[in-house]
Amino acid sequence: MGFYLLIKSNKNELFYIGFFIALLWFYWIGFSFKYYGLGFLAPFITLFIALAYGVIFWICGVFNSLYIRALLLFSVSFITPFGFNWLDFRLLLLNTPFKASFLSLFLIFFSTVLMLRVKKWWRFLTPVLHLFALNFDNVKSNETFLDIKIVSSFIDQSKKWNHKFLNEQVELVFNEIQKGIDEGRDLILFPESALPLFLNLNGSLMDALKAHSNHISIVIGSLYKSDEGAYNTAYHFENGEVTYAHKVILVPFGERVPLPKFLTDLINRYFFFGASDFLTSNTPTDFLIKGKKARSAICFEATKSELFEGNPNFMLAMSNNAWFTPSTQPALQKRVLKLYATLYKTTIYHSVNGAKGGVIAPISSLFH
């Protein structure tokens, strides 16, 4: 019914539909700017995003042909401004009998148009096309992962990078590690930036984590400093050794400014206190943990198809959602993660600061 009403709407109605979809899905995007002293920009950012999607939906309604209109509305899911891909109509198919794929989405759009255009009684047979959009995948993993302790923390972003609260966060990390050891876990997974510092430059912390890793494997988020610049990094400690997974895909306007260099330098200088964009790794990294392979992903990149190259069985994802809480952002992120877990049949272990993490398993067919 939702797709029916969407396709049936005229261009002016579609403008408001696009406007309010973007407003309600993404009102939280500007929240992070208050931590740069730019909180006054938040409502303008929200309004700009809502207007942009309003115009996109309006353009879809310019054409009188319902076939063209439906095709354009279907194509909205492919529009990823600055690489941001969270407005995806496939999310609406999760936890339904339908497969969360572009083919299923296309069939639903197409059958809805036929229902609207065909005049004779047999238009009521067009939902037969829905049979080809049903999900019959029976997702069964032949491999089980390790006994993992997933840490969820609730440290306010205003405290996260405040040096006064560093010792408190370090103490939290080692308390959780000790709990994991006492519980006999194989692995403990921490959120993004669980240690808010350049960890590779802190010899005492590195030595302490290496020592604890003789009893439990540790994957933890922190920063990494090199001669070229800074990385947002996942550290893996095991048996006194350490390996690194640098982030591959950065958050637009959060970790990088996706504009020409002269504009990037200007924005970084006047809005981000002279900071430079983070550096990136060229390819995703797989950690080998007690003989098991798991893909590392940090926050936003866990919702990008590039990180699922090779269809990894397991992914260790870490996020810091305190930038945007309280809001619906953690719920939307979880739903996007569920989509990609299902598409690539990957089980995601998600550790979060600012919201509750957990295990995100691929969706199997309701018919099994």
Give 20-23's long-range contacts (Cβ < 8 A, gap of 24+).
Answer: 20/50, 21/53, 21/57, 21/87, 22/49, 22/50, 22/52, 22/53, 22/54, 22/87, 23/49, 23/50
**Average pLDDT in the 295-307 region?**
97
Q: List the catalytic residue out of 160, 247, 334, 345.
A: 247
**Contact at 8 Å (CB) between 322 and 354?**
yes
Could you give the CA distance from residue 304 to residue 337 in angstroms, rounded to a whole number?
A: 9
Low-confidence winner among 66-80, 225-239, 257-271 (lowest mean pLDDT): 257-271
Query: Does residue 143 carry a catalytic annotation?
Result: no
Strand-by-strand arrangement of the 292-298 sheet: 286-289, 292-298, 314-320, 347-353, 358-360
Residue 170 binned pLDDT confidence (cut-offs 50, 70, 90): very high
Has this prediction a pTM greater than 0.85?
yes
**Contact at 8 Å (CB) between 359 and 316?**
no
Q: What is the pLDDT of residue 84?
A: 92
Buried/exposed 290-321: b ≥16 CB within 10 Å, e otherwise: eebebbbbbbbbbbbeebbeeebbbbbbbbbb
Could you give the CA distance from residue 103 to residue 107 in angstroms, rounded to a whole number?
A: 6
Give 167-175's long-range contacts (Cβ < 8 A, gap of 24+).
Answer: 169/194, 169/195, 169/196, 170/195, 170/205, 173/220, 174/208, 174/212
Q: List the catalytic residue out of 99, 160, 176, 192.
A: 192
Q: Which is nearest to 77 in space by CA: 283, 276, 305?
A: 305
Burial class (CB in 10 A: 0-12, 13-18, 19+), 219: buried
Sign of torsion over alpha carbons 281, 353, 331, 18: negative
Q: Who has greater pLDDT, 154 or 126?
A: 154
Could you give the CA distance from residue 348 to residue 268 in angstroms, rounded to a whole number?
A: 33
Could you give the CA distance from residue 247 to residue 240 in angstroms, rounded to a whole number?
A: 23
Q: Which residues contact 275 (CB under 8 A, 6 or more apart)?
A: 268
**Contact at 8 Å (CB) between 174 and 166?**
no
**Contact at 8 Å (CB) between 127 and 333?**
no
**Which residues does residue 220 pair with via DSSP β-bridges, in sequence order?**
235
Q: Which of 37-46, 108-117, 137-146, 283-292 has the highest mean pLDDT?
A: 283-292
3-state class (DSSP) for residue 195: strand
Q: What is the CATH number of domain 148-360?
A: 3.60.110.10
Query: Does residue 247 carry a catalytic annotation?
Result: yes
State the average pLDDT for the chain. Answer: 92
Alpha helices for the chain (secondary structure H): 2-8, 11-26, 42-61, 66-75, 102-117, 157-160, 166-182, 203-212, 261-271, 329-344
Q: What is the pLDDT of residue 364?
A: 83
**E strands present in 226-346:** 230-238, 241-246, 286-289, 292-298, 314-320
**Contact at 8 Å (CB) between 202 and 242?**
no
At residue 121, does pLDDT exceed 80?
no
**Cα-based distances in Å from 264 to 81, 210, 216:** 17, 38, 42
Q: Give the pLDDT confidence of 140-151 residue by residue, as tens digits.
A: 665 678 999 999
Q: Where in the chain is the domain with CATH 3.60.110.10?
A: 148-360
Q: What is the pLDDT of residue 314?
A: 96
Residue with tokens 């550790």: 351
Query: Does residue 60 carry a catalytic annotation?
Result: no
Q: List the catalytic residue out of 149, 176, 299, 304.
A: 299
Q: What is the pLDDT of residue 275?
A: 61
**Contact at 8 Å (CB) between 318 and 234?**
yes
**Average pLDDT in the 3-11 region?**
93
% of the chain at pLDDT higher than 70: 93
**Which residues does residue 361 pair with via DSSP β-bridges, in sequence order?**
none
At residue 127, does pLDDT exceed 90?
no
